[in-house]
Amino acid sequence: MAKPRRSTQQYTAVIGDMRGSREFSSAERMRVQIRFTKFIEDLNQNPRYGPALLSKFAITLGDEFHCVLQDASVLPDLIWDVDNAPGLPRFRIGVGYGRIDTEIPEYAINLDGPALHHARAAIDAGKTEKLRGAVFAGFGEEVDRVANGIARLLAFHMDKRTTAQRSVIGYLREGHSQIEIANLIHKTPQAVTDHKIAAGWDAFHAGELALRAILEIGTNPKAK
């Protein structure tokens, strides 16, 4: 097991809060918990996140997950994966930037510091203001404003997409060609093109690129 580390640097803390979990029956809660555990295990094993993780994804309080990132550029991917988690309810996502004042273990449990406080404040703001999409706090007033504006637009955009359109966007995000996607979803290349246009892929992709860019500015002094 990795030796715990104490941080004097600033990192990105993420809290995911499952919506409506208190309303589950006992049987439903058990089914959801099994899927939730598997989903978190898959995130920790996903090579996309490995280099970015300072403290791995961990389930806390039964219906939340925490992690600490040393590279915030993966956040659009994480938001996408959480929003499209198979068989799970929707999540609120709070993202906070700042120090971690406790020792940093392999898994994100029993952590404290400004990064976690900002992430919790972001979750609370999402609940109080009924915000869609991830909520960002602690990156600086201007970066927070831009990141939150982009997040609201991306969430609004995806709320309008059909299941087929979401599927095509997912494959495009993974770098598949339109011919490959046609084979995967058993449609013609023209049908994939139609889905891509109707889904507003170009706008969505530009929004994700903009979110990555503003987070790079907010977390990398050399980018400012």
Q: What is the CATH number of domain 5-160?
A: 3.30.70.1230
Question: Which is nearest to 216 in space by CA: 131, 150, 171, 162?
Answer: 150
Evaluate whether 199 touches 161 at the Cβ level (below 8 Å).
Answer: yes
pLDDT category of residue 23 using cuts at 50, 70 and 90: confident
What is the distance between the alpha carbons of residues 112 and 62, in angstroms, rounded to a whole number?
Answer: 18
Give the residue extent of every domain in the chain: 5-160
Give the residue from 134, 139, 121 showing the smallest Cα distance to 207: 134
* Confidence at residue 8, expressed as pLDDT on a 0 to 100 scale: 67
Average pLDDT over residues 24-41: 90
Cα torsion at 51, 54, 57, 63 (round to 10°)? -140
48-97 per-position pLDDT tens digit: 999 999 999 999 987 999 999 999 999 999 999 999 998 999 999 999 99
- Kindly report, residue by residue over 186-206, the tens digit of the pLDDT: 999 999 999 999 999 999 999
Kindly give, in sequence order, each residue whose CB lies less than 8 Å from that of residue 98, ignoring residues fewer than 6 positions away. Answer: 10, 11, 13, 113, 114, 115, 117, 118, 138
Tokens 């109080």 — which residue?
128
